[in-house]
Each structure stands twice: as C-alpha cells, then as structure tokens.
Amino acid sequence: MDRWNEKTAVVTGASSGIGAAIVLDLLKAGVNVVGLARRKERIDALREKIPANSANGKLYAIKCDLTQESDIKSAFNWIESNLGGTDILVNNAGIIKTMNLLDPNNTDNLRESIDTNVLAVVLASREAFQSMKKRHINGHIIHINSCAGHKIPYFVGMYPSFNIYPSTKFAVTAMTEVMRQELQNFGTKIKVTSISPGAVKTEIFKPEILELIQNIPFLDPEDVSQAVMYALATREHVQVHELIIKPIGEHA
C-alpha cells in the first residue's frame, strides 16, 4: 500500500456499511479519501473512528446524489481543483428496492436502481479515468459488485423478489471486462477490479428483510474492505480482475 500513501481515493456510498469500512481502512493506510454520499454528515462523523496511532490520511466529505450526473461531475471537478485529481475510485454505492419486477407502476424504483447501480458506476469511472489519464497515473478502479452479478440467488418463499438488482450487478460484471479491454486499448496500466461479496449485513437490507433472513450467514463490511485493500496492495503488474468472497455456510 506504500505507493498509495497520500494519494487520493474516491469512495461512493461512503456514509455507512461497506463504504464506511473502506473509507476507514484507506485512511488508516495513509490514503486521502473523498467520500461521496447523500448523507454528508455521516461521512464527517467517521473522523471520530480513526485510531490516533494510524497513518491518518485526510477525509473529505461531499454531498452527492449519484443518480444525478451533474452531482457526479461537480464532485470530480472539486477533487481536480482542490486535490489534484483521482488516483483510486471505489464504486461502492448500491441499492435494493423492496418490490417485484412485475409490480404495476414500479418505474421510479426500477429507474433509481439502474441509475445508482449501473449508470453511476459508469459515470464515476469515466470521470476518474479522465483524471488518471490526463496526469499519466496508473490508478485503480474498483467496483463493489455482488455474487448476484454471477448467479441469481434462489430465495423463493424466504425473501421478496430481488427484482432488477441481479440484472444491475450482471451489468457490473460485464462492465468490468469492457473497462479492462478499453484501458488496455488506451495504452494505460490503470487497473479495474470487481469484488463480489455474498450477503453482507448492511443497511441495504431493511430491518423487516433482515428478520426474514436472519438465519443465513453474513459477511461483515470489514471483510469486503479487506478485499479492497488486498486488490490495491498487489504489485503494479498484477490485476485482480474478479474476487468473489462468501461467508462460510452460504448456500446461495
């Protein structure tokens, strides 16, 4: 991780769960972190959790609605103007809406899911790439994907429909390979990595849903963050393309 010391990482969905865990681990490693989320105050509160004896990167919080391209572009422009640019991007933000794919009048929920889980990943990656390319930086783009982006979970009778969520994560799986090819075609050494966890106990699951699936094994957000740190710590010629992690005992 030494080569990332005092570099700038952007983490989307940084206010809680996996995103917050990634922010803290990056800060402890001496990386400066820009957290993007709608709840800016929750990112600011993470400063209280940084151990006093850690390398202590600097934390910057930006209020950003990832369903709005103008917010994304504004955030990356601020980073360019104030911090010099983006060296690491972790596309972590994602949502699951409680609905069925075939419910009537569910268009708004479907669109928000696609905009957050797919389009925001593309737009943030685009902005980060342009920053890296302009400065000739061998940066790293990481997508927090899901096992549901490789195989549809079968929880019939146990869990409400996953609706559009697996489709958005399958898109991230495909997107990772397309980006890998594009980054190669552009002649860069920028890495792109997809990290696909199984079930993780975070706020993505509403309390009533957690009640239904309380007996299945879960990962902790810190487990996913450690996978991110592993991918970032690989030598410059090594690219972790896809990393799947599951809790022991998971059947899905």
> Tell me, what DSSP letter sits at residue 118?
I
Looking at residue 216, its pLDDT comes to: 81
The answer to whether residue 177 is domain-embedded is: yes
Lowest mean pLDDT among 4-13, 47-56, 87-96, 147-156: 47-56
- Is the pLDDT at 197 greater than 90? The verdict is yes
Please indicate, yes or no, if residue 159 is contained in any of the structural domains: yes
Q: Quick check: is 252 in a domain?
A: no
Residue 6, pLDDT > 60, answer: yes
Closest C-alpha to 121, from 143, 140, 148? 143
Residue 24 lies in a domain: yes
CA pair distance 164, 111, nearest whole angstrom: 9
**pTM here?**
0.94
Q: Which helix (H) or strand (E) holds 179?
A: helix 165-185
Residue 152 phi/psi, 5° resolution?
-75, 120
What's the pLDDT band for 208 if we cut at 50, 70, 90? low
> What is the residue-averaged pLDDT of the chain?
93
**Does the residue 65 lie in any domain?**
yes
Question: pLDDT value at position 251?
Answer: 73
How sure is the predictor about 8, in pLDDT bands with cuts at 50, 70 and 90?
very high
The answer as to whether 185 is a domain residue is yes
**pLDDT(212) > 60:** no
Mean pLDDT of 122-126: 98
C-alpha 131/C-alpha 16 separation (Å) is: 26
C-alpha to C-alpha distance for 156 and 67, rounded to whole angstroms: 30
Higher pLDDT: 184 or 214? It is 184
Q: Is the pLDDT of residue 27 over 70?
A: yes
Whether residue 240 has pLDDT greater than 90: yes
Report the distance separating Cα 244 and Cα 47, nearest Å: 30
Task: Establish if 110 belongs to a structural domain.
Answer: yes
Determine the average pLDDT of the residues in 237-241.
97
Which residues are annotated as catalytic?
165
* pLDDT at residue 167 tops 90: yes
pLDDT at residue 50 tops 60:
yes
Q: Using the predicted structure, report yes or no on whether residue 11 has a pLDDT greater than 70.
A: yes
Higher-pLDDT residue of 207 and 77 is 77
Question: How many Cβ atoms from other residues are within 10 Å of residue 199's Cβ?
Answer: 20
Residue 210 has a pLDDT of: 60
For residue 160, pLDDT beyond 80: no
pLDDT at 159: 72
Q: Is 94 a member of any domain?
A: yes
Range of the domain at 111: 2-245
**Environment class of 136 (CB within 10 Å of its CB; exposed 0-12, middle 13-18, buried 19+):** exposed
**CATH of residue 224:** 3.40.50.720
At residue 58 the predicted structure's pLDDT band, cuts being 50, 70 and 90, is: very high
Please tell me the total count of domains within the chain. Answer: 1
What's the pLDDT band for 155 if we cut at 50, 70, 90? Answer: confident
